[in-house]
Chain A
Amino acid sequence: MITLIIYLLIGAGLFVFLLALALRKGAPVEGCGQEFVEARQALQTLRSGLLPADLIEGIFGRGDLEYVTAETVPEIHRMFLTERKRISLIWASRVRLEIRNLMHFHLGYSRFQGKMSLNTEVRLAIDFLVLVLACRALQLVLFARGPYGAPAIVGVAAGAAARVCSISEKSLAFLNPLGGATLPNDTGSGGATIQL
């Protein structure tokens, strides 16, 4: 009976994969160029849109909460908490999205690399999975305990933001040229400059 169940599960699993393949919309074929742009955008979003200390302070800091609690009626206090919870969940969701973009960036390159280390690739796959799950867990914590459930988040986020952005910049820097190569300007003053 157990053997039958195992075979049935494998067969059903194969059909699920086939269905996913049949329903799949065209996968991107742009290759590294597209992933490079997306990775840059992901880093930009993380650095300037999601992880800056003042933004995190604005979302998770208790200043607004204390003001609303002291100065307004309970109804407004409840509305404030609901709204702030919604914003914090959106924030966590966007962080997760950008991590996925970074993942796509890595996969977009590594799929072409015949010299890739399988060991490293497997470990990275696990790391990405763990991080994406961690983001999910964070969303759950925010959902269950609200935006003020983790009071130390502001300081940690500020430090992490600076570190992540610095490392991310380095990781993309090796793909950049040392300087822009310029085509010979023989077309007059309007000659094109192409970054190679």
Chain B
Amino acid sequence: MLSLLLWRAGLLLEFLILVRAVRSRMATKFPYFYGYIFCVFVVSLGLYISNEVRPDFYETWYWPTQFATLVAGCGVVLDVVEHAFGFYAGAERVARVACLAIFGATIFYVGLKAATQAELTPLAVTVGLERDLRVTEALLLVTVLSIVFYYGIALGRNLVGLIVGFGTYVGASLITLAVRAFAGPRFNESWGILQSSAYLLSLMVWTIALWSYSPQPVPVDRARLDGDYEALASATREILNSLRSYFKRTARS
């Protein structure tokens, strides 16, 4: 009963978010995110109807459709990177390289795991893959946020809401999937409710944060330095070396 309530509330909020996206014209600002919500809405509605009409159909299609929405969810990170670092070419470069490294490491890890595991059932593969992709999404978000904090980049209300909402769902999914894999089938019911609740919470955050468009804060007074990163970096390095030698001598004394 509770899971059905969560399901219906989720559908309602997804529909509301999509309506607001069209009315406020934000669908063009965050195309991957709204694509993801649209994908989840269609899948969720289809599964809801099939659950009412033909439960066996639901059982068959749950994991494949879950995987499709999972892949679509990775696109949300692209929206985050594009908006967060839009004005900051240097920070964007660091973020891009770090994100590519994480993707590369994930593909290598998943490939290695698939090659070394002897017996694989489709369900085990899907569940394992979902967990691995959730880990990837979590690591990508942590990396992006680390860079945002390190470079002191200001984020707009829309983007903060998008990240907090998506991160909440990813984090909750990761933790519940890990516990589910450890605890076994007895955790299944709690897992379903916890994951649905986390998703509903994310939808609430998104509904509020993305109700109207709030642009990214634009940094001002940045036009006076168009190049010469090397000069800046080497000068900073010189200062650091000088300070370091000072502290070394002080410590020795």
Contact = CB atoms under 8 A, between A and B. Distances in A.
- Chain A interface main SS type: helix
Contact of A17 (B145, B246, B253): B145
Contacts of B242: 160, 163-164, 167
A12 B168 CA distance: 10
B93 A107 contact: no
Contacts of B172: 11
B151 interface: yes
A27 B153 contact: yes
Nearest to B178: A7
- Chain B interface main SS type: helix
Nearest to A98: B243
A116 B229 contact: yes
A114 B167 contact: no
Contact of A33 (B139, B182, B221): B221
Given A32-B222, A157-B246, A27 B155 contact: yes
B76 to A, nearest CB: 14
A171 B220 contact: no
A99 interface: yes
A114 B93 CA distance: 7
A82 to B, nearest CB: 22
A135 B247 contact: yes
Contact of B89 (A99, A108, A113): A113
Interface residues of A, number: 72
Interface residues of B, number: 74
A30 B217 CA distance: 10
Contacts of B252: 152
Among B139, B160, B236, B238, max chain A CB count under 10 A is at B236
Interface stretch (A62-70, A118-126, A180-188): A118-126
Interface string A47-90: 00000000000000000000000000000000000000000000
A35 B131 CA distance: 42
B231 interface: yes
Given A29-B217, A104-B152, 16 more contacts: A1-B182, A8-B179, A11-B172, A26-B217, A107-B152, A109-B225, A112-B90, A117-B233, A118-B93, A120-B230, A121-B233, A131-B243, A134-B247, A135-B247, A153-B250, A156-B249
10 closest cross-chain pairs (CB), A and B: A171-B235, A152-B253, A114-B89, A160-B246, A33-B221, A7-B178, A31-B219, A31-B222, A27-B154, A11-B175
15 contacts: A8-B179, A10-B139, A12-B175, A15-B171, A18-B171, A21-B145, A32-B222, A33-B220, A107-B150, A116-B93, A117-B230, A128-B240, A134-B251, A171-B235, A174-B228
